[in-house]
Amino acid sequence: MLNKKNKSWNNSTIFLVLFAGLFAVVIGHAFMAHNAETVTSDGVVVSTEPVKLSFSDVLRRAHDIKTMNIRGDNATGVMNDGTKYTAVMVYNPELLEKFSNDGTAVSIDTSRGWVGYLETWVPILMGVLFILWIFRGMRGAGGGIGRALLGQNPTKIVTGKPKTTFKDVAGIDSEKQELMEVVDFLRDKSKFAALGARVPRGILLSGEPGTGKTLLARAIAGEANVPFFAASGSDFSGIIVGLGVAKIKEIFEMAKRNAPCLLFIDEIDAIGQRRSQNSYNDQDREQTLNQLLIEMDGFSNETGIIVIGATNRQDMLDPALLRPGRFDRQVYIELPDMNGRREILELHAKKIKMEKDVNLGDLARGTTGFSGADLENLLNESALHAVRAGHKLVNQEDIEEARDKLMMGPRKFRKMRPEDIKLTAYHEAGHAFVSTIYSDVTDPIHKATIIPRGRALGMVQHLPLDDKVSMSIAEVRATLAIEMAGRASEEVFFGPDKITTGAEADIAMATRLARRSITTAGMSSKIGMVAVNQVQNFGHRLPLESASEKTAEKVDAEIKEWTDNAYRDAVKIISKNKSVVKKLAEELLERETLTGEEIKEIVLGKKAKSVTKKKKVARK
């Protein structure tokens, strides 16, 4: 009885065996030709490899050569003493006649050996087989040799049903509610058909990277208890023209055999980019897109397949892909708000051993702009720090260190001059003091530190009380003053000749805030309530939109006036409270880090709580 493995032999295997055999024969022949040996009657191995002679040696020893057999540019023969030789011989009739007159038996061999025939026909045979291999891979549904060669089978079938459900997805409750109709359709199609309702055939999930688009697609399939097919958009592109169309057909045929089911295409912008009249070099990609459009809304509409696409570049997609009937519903997954971040942290915290006093609420407040993936990575970094520190449980210190590392970069152990450390302390003390003065309109301080991280020599962190959707003009002016307070403190305590480049990031942030407030929010009385937003195009700055050169000059002048006023405001506040700011700076020099409560107590004139002094970081 034949083994099943023997039946699996195909043309690919036969081709590889044939190639390996021919290669072994050629190598073996070459090896034998260059390693000729003879065993004497005494059992001694004597090398019979011919002596190699140069062309000049042949001319010099012409009287010693007995025979000479010329084939191509090579000559072989025997010397008068019986020694075999090989030499490079240039064909010259006059020279050969001279050898013959000297008594050498000269012969010319024009025949070809079997190795010569192999050298001619093996490359041709290999080329023909390779072409057949490629064309067989383009036949479509079958798993051809060409497809196996290029690794072009993208379909990842989840056998059974995905175990992920909506319980495993946190922080996007409104998006989950939007997708419950799809789950209900996959569970019970009849109640929709009874009212004549048509469930969306396609759903496009868009949003920032790490917001949970792939996880949400798996959760829909797990919640509906249906098969789940997944592929990436780049899997449908290859070096062979027509292969993308074939793979689109293949994955949809596979999905139809398992309907009702979900078909998920991640990074769909790889094949769904907007078509152009001049895209001659993208014909294969456009053919793949055309096939996808046909499969999603062709002649057979009732397939039971719901296609879910995911992308963070929705603006690049072709309009035909976004029309009703294909991607009927477009769900934008935003970055989680504060409540969403707390839910995500609580979900991932179940897998990590933490101390009971870890405040995930404060962590959610201090991670504005973090995606779900960022929050999961933050908790993982805190666990790694706890392991390095030898802690049995993850504590608040590990959480703080992980957050600072992700937001500002790893801690730098650099050697700094004492005057630089002192100037950094006064710089951060200026930020902290002005922040406390404006605490009624800005976010409260979480901590101030002079421990260098990334490119920053120190920082002052704020914790928002809630998610902000807008800023008042009073808050904008206060924030500008806070940003300018570091440079103002340097000038007040060390003089205008001692200011440093440490305020570079502060000035950039203040300029961006002032420009946005003036050009898009209409907060300037001189510019008015008009949108003159300045845009960027591939890194090149363009003129202001819908604005003349005169308006652009007014905008620049207004931005400068706002930042100058903020700087004067910060200098005035710090100059009137030099003793308090100096005390803050001295405390920072001693402890390196102050909490928000400690800063508030120093500013209000109370004695700071006695805390365990932190070990100073060695700046090597």
What's the rounded Cα separation, in Å, for the pair 9 and 12? 8
CA end-to-end span of the chain: 75
Spatial CB neighbours of 526, under 8 Å, sequence gap ≥ 6: 554, 558
- List phi, psi (to 5°) of 310: -130, 135
Half-sphere exposure of 161 (CA within 13 A, CB side): 14
What's the rounded Cα separation, in Å, for the pair 383 and 352? 7
Burial 36-50 (b: 16+ CB within 10 A, else e): eeeeeeeeeeeeeee
Answer for the pair 155, 229: CB distance below 8 angstroms, yes or no.
Answer: yes
DSSP 550: H
CA atoms 419, 420, 421, 424: torsion sign = positive
Closest by CA position to 162, among listed 226, 213, 205: 226
Spatial CB neighbours of 620, under 8 Å, sequence gap ≥ 6: 413, 414, 415
Token pair for residue 286? 């456009």
3-state secondary structure 333-349: ECCCCHHHHHHHHHHHH
Q: Which residue has the tokens 């049995």?
A: 392
Spatial CB neighbours of 579, under 8 Å, sequence gap ≥ 6: none
Q: Is residue 300 classed as helix, strand or coil in its secondary structure?
A: coil
Spatial CB neighbours of 346, under 8 Å, sequence gap ≥ 6: 170, 360
Distances (CA, A) of 143 to 131, 137, 434: 16, 7, 69
Closest by CA position to 567, among listed 555, 578, 575: 575
Burial degree of 401 (CB within 10 A; 0-12, 13-18, 19+): buried
37 annotated active-site: no
Q: Out of 267, 343, 428, 592, pick the active-site residue.
A: 428
Catalytic residues: 428
